[in-house]
Structure 1
Amino acid sequence: MSSDKKTLLLVDGSSYLYRAFHAMPDLRVVPGDPSSAATGAIRGMINMMQSLRKEVPADYAACVFDAKGPTFRDALYPEYKANRSPMPDDLRSQIAPIHEVVRLLGWKVLDVPGVEADDVIGTLAVTAANQGIEVIVSSGDKDLSQLVNEHITIIDTMNGKKRDVAGVTAEFGVPPALMVDYQTLVGDAVDNVPGVEKVGPKTAAKWLQEYGSLDALVARAGDIKGVAGENLRKALEWLPKGRELLTIKTDCELDGYVDGLPAMDSIAIGDQQMEALTAFYEQYGFKGLVRALGGNAAQAQPAVPAAAKPKRATQAAGPSLFDEPEEAPPAAAAPEQATSTLAYDTIFTWQAFDHWLAKIEAAELVALDTETTSLDEMLAEIVGISFSVTPGAAAYIPLTHDYPGAPEQLPQGEVLARLKPWLENPAKPKLGQHVKYDRHVFANHGIEVQGYAHDTMLQSYVLEVHKPHGLASLAERHLGRSGINYEDLCGKGANQIRFNQVDVAKAAEYSSEDSDQTLDVHRVLWPQIEANDKLRFIYDLEMQSSETLYRIERNGVLIDAPMLAKQSGELGARILQLEAEAYEIAGQPFNLGSPKQLGEIFFDKLGMPVVKKTATGARSTDEEVLEKLAEDYPLPAKLLEHRSLSKLKGTYTDKLAQLADPKTGRVHTHYAQAVAVTGRLSSNDPNLQNIPVKTAEGRRVREAFVAPAGSVIASADYSQIELRIMAHISGDEALLRAFKEGLDVHRATAAEVFGVSVEQVSSEQRRYAKVINFGLIYGMSSFGLARNLGIETKAAAAYIDKYFQRYPGVKQYMDETKQSAKSKGYVETVFGRRLYLPEINSPNGPRRSGAERAAINAPMQGTAADLIKLSMVKVQQVLDAEKRGTKMIMQVHDELVFEVPEAEVAWVKTEIPRLMAGVADLKVPLLAEIGVGENWEKAH
């Protein structure tokens, strides 16, 4: 695009608003209130329009919507669009405000009665292009491809697709000039415009490539062989009308404009109307957008969350296509402060150090932050430290910045030695953002920090689990403050520098800002937690868990590297053998990882049935398809085994020894607390929770987790924990009785469902009952149950009905929980952890159903997560109090793993199950079981 040319940007508003509606959560003016006005599409539209304006600079711009009422196509063909579902009421109610806010954002809005949006776009695009203006159309609608030429380009910002002349030709097999002919042959199912029966994209493209145009093809219709030719000849009378319906008009008379067209000056891109936008955002409850518009220059940045500080600041991801929606829990007002006059000090002298040491010694609470050399907390060394004790004031101590011209800094060792008494004093309350990381960093320098009273990441996790928990997001969301981006300091990718190479002045501002914002965020979030006893309990549990997890991570687990090397060799040999066997079955060598080659061999050469297709119409060979085909064919079974073993080798047997500390032979995983919305932990570097224990090879990997000489491994976990929680929550008498009497609950369920005595239950009936018990916890449908059991759907539905007849309390719990979730917008665990369900009132059926299933299951998963954390904390407290040599070395799902000196084995076998069973008083007894062995696998 030449720089002297003007650009017109046209937005397919109708395409945008549907995308916004379906992609965003079910937001409301009053969060969680289904009777309140819907706002999700409005918010999504705002984000999309703001993003597009930043990404595509333009001189002129218009957003074009379909107007109400019929068009010429309806008169030409009454069945036009007859199959379209009516617009959902929640979307219809957002149309007028969407038009309004798009105008306020500086866009010309067009909705021309009697003319479809595509035709308005076509007319404007062609007219502008004829005047030498470059035209960009933003839409996901492939129909607009017929407009493309050297001056008109279609972009789809949702998937990064660009449809210029080459792009259209590559995608459809014909150039833009033949797109109308192509569409006429294929038809348009969405608009109910028939094409030629059984003629798809490949045939249409092939014919047009061969004959040059639809007219030429029609003239030679008698030459076309087979069924396709017969269908073409049947459609000859229809094709002219089909082409007329599908052709975008480029010469519409747009009433109200000079010569039927708007003057370009009338659609020049405009400024945002700030005052009116503020009022609009306030009306629809968009608090974050209001804050982004108001305040100082830093606050007036576009409402796009800044990148999180790369200090393993564990976050839950927000919606992938849009900025985060407004917060569900009501936020307290930000404290009054003069953030526009920040007072940040950089400490270069002992006099300044002593001044700030006196400040932190006297302060009631100190926000503390470290800057380091690494994201790996076990290796990271301190580059600098910052503190904040009052809003708007902070200080940074640079210690090891090392670049040409770097100022002289206080010696790291002496600074840390003088800070150590305060850092290790439990009576001096401290605050941080992801304090577990900072604890490791200080420990790397021989300092065991005590007195961490608060963690803003965990405060956010407890209050708003479904939101991002990084400091940048928290400051933006709760303070309306934007901060310095880490990548602005250090760069990206291969060119990224280490923090010790960052200019001290910039580093001081960045780190001081982090401590200052952490203190401010705490002052907003903590009062909300403190005012709610349940949330206070969960927050205290998370803080105690953070302390215990720090200990677990620090301990690490010993790895038998030679055993892993032996397993890798054996797996490698088996993988090669599987490849050879696959080649033999296929009758040729092929790439086992190529979906295209797999499709050709499976379906073309070996004649296997097509199970399903991908979104693009290709024949799928994904895991689900392989599992289905493996029931009847040997090749898919070989491929499944090959994939499983390759993953096991690459992820575990090859990598675990590499991740071990070379001095100790121990692996130190990282447990992320603030990720799973249910409260469960996630493990990474390495991920200890995904070792595939259902296969013999996977279980062998656990054999490499060992104890040093003189010690053994012990593994303790809860028995049937989620079923026990279901019994407690639902209060179902039959389920409670089964657990109280110590019955085999699956056998008891089988007796109830199949109408036999417990003694008469067969192993097959017990297996069915086990699937039903666990399936219903996860909201499994009769279809899902049928698939799991390999039976008819009707039979599965009958089992579910019988189950609910025998356990009416479970059915009542499920119904009441769904209704409660719909009214509140969240569910709770037994202990009060809130689990938000943004889609529970969504007009999108599949999303709503998914949220309803989560509403039933989340309290059980979340309560199980709470229980294992309570156990982890309690056991560690007792180990410390009794000065035991036993170390907790892993937490995996509902399991705690220990390294136990042989002299303490008897104590561990007795006391740890007792401690775990006693952490909560439920309506059914908790049962913890423990095993001991020379390695993790043998401890099961």
Structure 2
Amino acid sequence: MSGKIVLIDGHSILNRAFYGLPDLTASGGRHTGAVYGFLNILFKILEEEQPDYLTVAFDTHAPTFRHKMYEAYKGTRHPMPEELREQVPLTQEVLKAMGVPIVMKEGFEADDILGTLSVKAEREGLDVSVVSGDRDLLQLATEKVLIRIPRTKAGKTEITDYHAGDVEEAYGLTPPQIVELKALMGDTADNIPGVPGIGIKTATKILKEYGTVENAYAHVENIRPQKAMTALRDHYDSALLSEKLAKINTDSPVELDLEKARLENLFTPEAYEMFRDLGFKKLLTRFEADPAAEKRVVEVRTVTGLQEADALLKKAAGTDRAGLYLLQQTDRKSGKCRVYGLGLSLPDQKGGVGGTYYIPAGGFVTENLLLDAVRRIAGECPLLCTFGFKEMVRAAELPESAEGSVFDIKIAAYLLDPLTSDYSFDTIAKDCGTERVLSAEEIFQSKKIPLPEQMEEDKAAVYAGETAFTALAAQPLLERKLEENGMLALFRGMEMPLVYVLADMERAGIRVLPEELEQYGNRLTEGIRQVEASVYEQAGETFNINSPKQLGEILFEKMKLPGGKKTKTGYSTAADVLEKLAPEAPIVRDILEYRQLTKLKSTYADGLASFIADDGRIHSVFHQTITATGRISSTDPNLQNIPVRMELGRQIRKVFLPAEGFVFLDADYSQIELRVLAHLSGDRKLIDAYKMEKDIHAITASQVFHVPFDQVTPLQRRNAKAVNFGIVYGISSFGLAEDLGISRKEAAEYIEQYYQTYPGIRSFLEGLVTSAREKGYSETMYGRRRPMPELKSSNFMQRQFGERVAKNAPIQGTAADIIKIAMIRVNRRLKQEKLRSRLILQVHDELLLETAKDELETVSRILEEEMTGAAKLAVRLEIDMHTGNSWYEAK
């Protein structure tokens, strides 16, 4: 018989995938990262091998020969993490859905099954590929049996292959001697004890000379070095046990059923359903088409006639609720919006979804007609259900609607689960249990959604129609869930009104002078040249500063700086390594400055130029469904990450200028997170400290270090400030020690003194962790929830991270909520008073307004009233305001 069979070690590959990929969770909170990684490795193997047969072997829960020997020797194997354990049966379900045979046998481990099947397959004349992360299987390698060892790194899978000759080349030993090697050197991962004191080099040398452990022991007095001789003589029983543990049973009672193992079409309807349910969208593109397409009930009808289109749009405006999705594209350079079509979904008489339509722009159905229809529907329909409402607001220039009249399912889904990164309409549909819809990847048969101008009209129809359908179908359940979770008021009163503010900010943009940007780039280029020259002079030679390999050799080999950590690719020159060396090494300080300057040059001096639109302004995109704490983020470009630590970095703000006749007015909340902490904790001393209206950091220093207020030194104030802000972020003594350059013991004493000074804060923060652990989520003052799965992780570091987040999320999230309220109030006041001034940028606790010079006094009053009045806390909200003819001056 000829052909090829692939045998896969199920648990081993799952284990590799679990530790090699970030965790993923599907609906219902199921962990799926290992399953996804397993499938990626499986498909990679199948594409390379093109086998005729396939089988996957798994361990059983029943004790095996090895388990019993482990217990007899030194206890049990390390338990599998719970997050991985729950993915084993899930993987098996997926494989069964794909028609892949699974082999398990009580009392035998997967590698025994693989060993037996590989021997039987080789006897049948088949070429065999055994896929496992366990190098014990190298003992099975022959010229017909290939052992494939996958390794997942940074999301990519690399595979090393071993026939018998490859094993000898890599290890200097034959495949059967791999068992002997493990017998001598052991394997901590597999709890194989080996012989204490004998490592891989000595073990390999002994086996090259004596062939087997038994023969080596027969000549034990001749073994060198002396240490190895003594170790083998005194621990020969351990070597024999280890040999039994490492030896794979190639005669276990399992049959090779080639009929069952024959590889058929894996992309079955059952597999398709499971991939969809698990959220494996990228893998769905492997299916030629949806195997369950005939089950689909969402029909999107394209309407091109003006009369019928007009009738549908009037019906939408007159109905109680409608689903709407505007397919549009805004040109970043010109700022012009082009409308390609409108997805529309109308309810039936029972409150469900009736017809779903797509109205393309073309002929008598003009873009303006569709935009007018959107305005009419938004103004007249009591409940407009949509997806990505901000883009519709910008395109149609919609005025703010009455509270509760618009429902964006994407924002609702984000509030309900802020940890996921997938708020696509089809994922929302699946999570809400609505009727089946195609995903964008399925519609376009691509992982990337094309721009509307590149969409084929029939696919655009399905995309826009199904999005509108999902908005209408999912809205009732999402609203009910928001109410059940206490977040409906947050959604209606904060997140939906914020959409209009963000749309206004994007539309307004911020002015940038290209010539100023060019001059700034020239200053950076000169700064880079000077720092580069200084580095070369101190190093005594020129080299590529951007090359970690060359830089590591200069610093740690040539200049002999301490702290060099050598990896497989050379010395680590990561920022944390260099920052520790910087205080004592001028060259390292220069290298860190060089990195900052080159980042400024590429990201800002060069990068910003490409974002300047025809109106001379940069129109950044603001997102409200990205961060887990509720903070707004910005992209294309990110204007919230402008550097502030070094003067040359701050100077980038000089290129941002107000329009003629305007100035910048910048308002920044003063220590908002500390004030929120004072309010939420109710700590009387911290509240009183704020009410004294003195320097809060100096007050804290006075109380923590027990010195009179007027005798606090600058260093004491700096240390108190670090503790004040560090406490908000759940800082550890290790983190504080790193920040202040002090010992961990001193840092721990500072934190302890702080808690003694403000005793209510300790109990409050500990209570946040306890509450989050019990409820499974943390909560802001306004009811925003942040799920806390990290607190139940089997990984200690993850649990520690979870405790820090549980302390910080309610504080940072409340501060983020307050700034959102302030933005809404300020924007409304500017419009109500018909001012030309406008809010153009938000950077966390800071608002930047382009203010008409003759409106400066009025706008300053509005900012003061609306920002300080955004929340009623136990301590007053304070703001700092500055004006300037550039962002630099205003800040």
Do Structure 1 and Structure 2 share a fold, with TM-score over 0.5?
yes
Query: Could you tell me how far 1:757 is from its partner in structure 2?
Result: 2.4
Find the residue that maps to 1:922 and give its secondary structure: coil
CA distance in 2, matches of 1:8, 1:642: 51
Aligned to 1:156, which of 144, 150, 155?
A: 150
Q: In the alignment, which residue of structure 1 is the partner of 2:291?
A: none
Q: In the alignment, which residue of structure 1 is the partner of 2:424?
A: 470
Contact 1:828 1:859 in 2 (8 A): yes
Query: Could you tell me how far 1:659 is from its partner in structure 2?
Result: 0.7
CA distance in 1, matches of 2:182, 2:561: 31
**Does residue 358 of structure 2 align to residue 396 of structure 1?**
yes
Alpha carbons of 1:521 and 1:732: their partners in 2 closer, same or farther (altered >3 Å)? same
CA distance in 2, matches of 1:29, 1:476: 9
Contact 1:73 1:80 in 2 (8 A): no
Structure 1 range deviating more: 578-587 or 863-872:
578-587
CA distance in 1, matches of 2:248, 2:272: 45
Gaps of 5+ in 1: 32-38, 221-227, 275-291, 309-319, 321-337, 401-408
Aligned to 1:121, which of 107, 114, 117?
A: 114
Aligned-residue sequence identity (percent) comes to 31
Given residue 387 of structure 2, which amino acid in structure 1 is its aligned partner? Answer: Q
CA distance in 1, matches of 2:549, 2:227: 30
| Count of residues in Structure 1 that have an aligned counterpart in Structure 2 | 849
Query: Could you tell me how far 1:470 is from its partner in structure 2?
Result: 1.8
**Does residue 580 of structure 2 align to residue 628 of structure 1?**
yes
Query: Could you tell me how far 1:115 is from its partner in structure 2?
Result: 4.7
Query: Could you tell me how far 1:476 is from its partner in structure 2?
Result: 1.9
Given residue 499 of structure 1, which amino acid in structure 2 is its aligned partner? Answer: P
Query: Could you tell me how far 1:13 is from its partner in structure 2?
Result: 1.8
CA distance in 1, matches of 2:534, 2:88: 63
Structure 1 range deviating more: 624-633 or 554-563:
624-633
Contact 1:456 1:521 in 2 (8 A): yes
Q: Could you report, residue by residue, the CA deviation over 1:827-862 in whole angstroms, capped at 9, with x for unpaired residues?
A: 110111111111222222111111111010000110
**Does residue 305 of structure 2 align to residue 349 of structure 1?**
yes
Contact 2:302 2:358 in 1 (8 A): yes
Contact 1:392 1:516 in 2 (8 A): no
Contact 1:673 1:682 in 2 (8 A): yes
* Superposed counterparts of 1:66-465, under 5 Å: 68-69=62-63, 71=65, 85-86=78-79, 90=82, 112=105, 115-148=108-141, 151-154=145-148, 156=150, 158=152, 159-165=156-162, 174=171, 177=174, 180=178, 187-190=186-189, 191=191, 193-194=193-194, 213=208, 245=242, 248-255=246-253, 257=254, 261-265=255-259, 302-305=276-279, 340-373=296-329, 378-390=335-347, 391-399=353-361, 409-413=363-367, 415-416=369-370, 419=373, 422=376, 425=379, 429-443=383-397, 453-465=406-418
Q: In the alignment, which residue of structure 2 is the partner of 1:882?
A: 833
Q: In the alignment, which residue of structure 1 is the partner of 2:653?
A: 702
Given residue 439 of structure 1, which amino acid in structure 2 is its aligned partner? Answer: V
Q: In the alignment, which residue of structure 1 is the partner of 2:437?
A: 483
**Does residue 731 of structure 2 align to residue 780 of structure 1?**
yes
Contact 1:368 1:431 in 2 (8 A): yes
Query: Could you tell me how far 1:696 is from its partner in structure 2?
Result: 0.7
Alpha carbons of 1:214 and 1:68: their partners in 2 closer, same or farther (altered >3 Å)? farther
Contact 2:338 2:367 in 1 (8 A): no
CA distance in 2, matches of 1:381, 1:651: 29
Q: In the alignment, which residue of structure 1 is the partner of 2:289?
A: none
Contact 2:112 2:252 in 1 (8 A): no
Given residue 279 of structure 2, which amino acid in structure 1 is its aligned partner? Answer: P
Q: Greater helix percent: which structure? A: 2
**Does residue 603 of structure 2 align to residue 651 of structure 1?**
yes
Contact 2:27 2:278 in 1 (8 A): no
Structure 1 range deviating more: 456-465 or 338-347:
338-347
Given residue 5 of structure 1, which amino acid in structure 2 is its aligned partner? Answer: G
Query: Could you tell me how far 1:744 is from its partner in structure 2?
Result: 1.8
Find the residue that maps to 1:938 and give its secondary structure: helix
Structure 2 length-normalised TM? 0.84
CA distance in 1, matches of 2:444, 2:101: 40
Q: Could you report, residue by residue, the CA deviation over 1:465-484 in whole angstroms, capped at 9, with x for unpaired residues?
A: 22332212111222255533
**Does residue 856 of structure 2 align to residue 905 of structure 1?**
yes
Q: In the alignment, which residue of structure 1 is the partner of 2:287?
A: none
Aligned to 1:826, which of 755, 773, 777?
A: 777
Query: Could you tell me how far 1:916 is from its partner in structure 2?
Result: 0.3
Q: Could you report, residue by residue, the CA deviation over 1:53-109 in whole angstroms, capped at 9, with x for unpaired residues?
A: 66665634132216654646976x999676964556x57986996798589656655
Find the residue that maps to 1:675 and give its secondary structure: coil
Contact 1:535 1:833 in 2 (8 A): no
Contact 1:306 1:472 in 2 (8 A): no
Structure 1 range deviating more: 377-386 or 177-186:
177-186
Alpha carbons of 1:396 and 1:263: their partners in 2 closer, same or farther (altered >3 Å)? closer
Alpha carbons of 1:185 and 1:597: their partners in 2 closer, same or farther (altered >3 Å)? farther
Find the residue that maps to 2:584 and give its secondary structure: coil
Contact 2:661 2:852 in 1 (8 A): yes
Given residue 425 of structure 2, which amino acid in structure 1 is its aligned partner? Answer: L
Contact 2:318 2:380 in 1 (8 A): no
CA distance in 2, matches of 1:459, 1:628: 44
Given residue 559 of structure 2, which amino acid in structure 1 is its aligned partner? Answer: L
Structure 1 range deviating more: 367-376 or 43-52:
43-52
Given residue 338 of structure 2, which amino acid in structure 1 is its aligned partner? Answer: E
Alpha carbons of 1:126 and 1:195: their partners in 2 closer, same or farther (altered >3 Å)? farther
Alpha carbons of 1:632 and 1:887: their partners in 2 closer, same or farther (altered >3 Å)? same
Aligned to 1:5, which of 3, 12, 16?
A: 3
**Does residue 493 of structure 2 align to residue 523 of structure 1?**
no
Gaps of 5+ in 2: 47-51, 217-223, 284-293, 348-352
Contact 2:729 2:804 in 1 (8 A): yes
Query: Could you tell me how far 1:134 is from its partner in structure 2?
Result: 4.1
Structure 1 length-normalised TM? 0.80
* Superposed counterparts of 1:900-939, under 5 Å: 900-939=851-890
Alpha carbons of 1:55 and 1:19: their partners in 2 closer, same or farther (altered >3 Å)? closer
Query: Could you tell me how far 1:704 is from its partner in structure 2?
Result: 1.1
CA distance in 2, matches of 1:72, 1:419: 72
Aligned to 2:504, which of 551, 558, 561?
A: 551
Query: Could you tell me how far 1:937 is from its partner in structure 2?
Result: 1.4
Query: Could you tell me how far 1:863 is from its partner in structure 2?
Result: 0.4
Query: Could you tell me how far 1:807 is from its partner in structure 2?
Result: 1.3
CA distance in 2, matches of 1:113, 1:491: 43
Q: Could you report, residue by residue, the CA deviation over 1:265-294 in whole angstroms, capped at 9, with x for unpaired residues?
A: 56668999x9xxxxxxxxxxxxxxxxx97x
Alpha carbons of 1:131 and 1:818: their partners in 2 closer, same or farther (altered >3 Å)? same
Contact 1:122 1:248 in 2 (8 A): no
**Does residue 825 of structure 2 align to residue 865 of structure 1?**
no
Query: Could you tell me how far 1:112 is from its partner in structure 2?
Result: 4.9
Find the residue that maps to 2:406 and give its secondary structure: strand
Find the residue that maps to 1:366 and give its secondary structure: strand
CA distance in 2, matches of 1:490, 1:270: 26
Contact 1:713 1:936 in 2 (8 A): yes
Aligned to 2:58, which of 52, 64, 69?
A: 64
CA distance in 2, matches of 1:590, 1:143: 44
Q: In the alignment, which residue of structure 1 is the partner of 2:286?
A: none
CA distance in 1, matches of 2:80, 2:486: 44
CA distance in 2, matches of 1:560, 1:81: 72
Q: In the alignment, which residue of structure 2 is the partner of 1:34?
A: none
Given residue 471 of structure 1, which amino acid in structure 2 is its aligned partner? Answer: F
CA distance in 2, matches of 1:28, 1:477: 9
Find the residue that maps to 2:461 and give its secondary structure: helix
Query: Could you tell me how far 1:887 is from its partner in structure 2?
Result: 1.1
Given residue 303 of structure 1, which amino acid in structure 2 is its aligned partner? Answer: D
Contact 1:124 1:250 in 2 (8 A): no
Find the residue that maps to 1:160 and give its secondary structure: strand
Aligned to 2:767, which of 816, 838, 841?
A: 816
Aligned to 1:673, which of 616, 624, 628?
A: 624
Query: Could you tell me how far 1:503 is from its partner in structure 2?
Result: 3.5
Aligned to 1:570, which of 501, 523, 530?
A: 523
Q: In the alignment, which residue of structure 2 is the partner of 1:332?
A: none
